[in-house]
Amino acid sequence: MADVSHSRGDISAHPDVHEMRARYARMLGSRDVALVDGPVFLLGLYCAASPWILHYTRSQPAIATHNLIMGIAFGLLALGFTIVPERMYGLSWAMCAMGAWMIISPWIVGTAPDTGVAVNSIVIGALGVVLGTLCAGAAVRSNPPA
């Protein structure tokens, strides 16, 4: 019977190992990459929990559901930035778009949001735009044109 088990071997024999290591070193060479991932995850966590923290789940159920979904999306982006940064930093601009959407979403998703709900979404959105811009800047600095 043939041995079909896949054991994890050493990657040093891979033909592209030097290029992969160089790209990974360029991506993680600057510490601002790691300094942005944590705040993005915390922003997502707060966005998801904010309807329960600020107690507007009953008065604005659509915005509460929206913030939960957007918070999960921010958190998944942050995890992707941490786990596979060389593949995910192209989505930094998507985080900027998500932040811009968060700024205007209370008036589109909700029904007559009060000041607290609106300010909460504006702050989350502004932080999303700023952190997305920082991620995009880190990606551009770590991936110079050839």
What are the two backbone dihedrals, phi and then psi, of residue 144, each rounded to the nearest 5 degrees?
A: -70, 150
Q: Give the CA angle between residues 86, 20, 78 to the nearest 5°.
A: 20
Name the one residue in this structure whose structure tokens are 């998703």: 109
Distance CA(146)–CA(136), nearest Å, equals 18
What are the two backbone dihedrals, phi and then psi, of residue 22, each rounded to the nearest 5 degrees?
A: -65, -40
pLDDT band of residue 19 (cuts 50, 70, 90) is confident
Distance CA(51)–CA(54), nearest Å, equals 5
pLDDT of 143 reads: 60
- pLDDT of 128 higher than 60: yes
| Closest among 80, 57, 83, 66 to 125, alpha carbons compared | 66
pLDDT of 1 reads: 57
Of residues 110 and 50, more confidently modeled: 50
Distance CA(127)–CA(119), nearest Å, equals 12
The lowest-confidence range among 31-35, 93-97, 121-125 is: 31-35
Answer yes or no: are the C-beta atoms of 83 and 21 closer than 8 Å. Answer: no
Mark 33-60 as b/e (b = at least 16 C-beta within 10 Å): beebbeebbebbebbbebbeebebeebb
DSSP state of 29: S
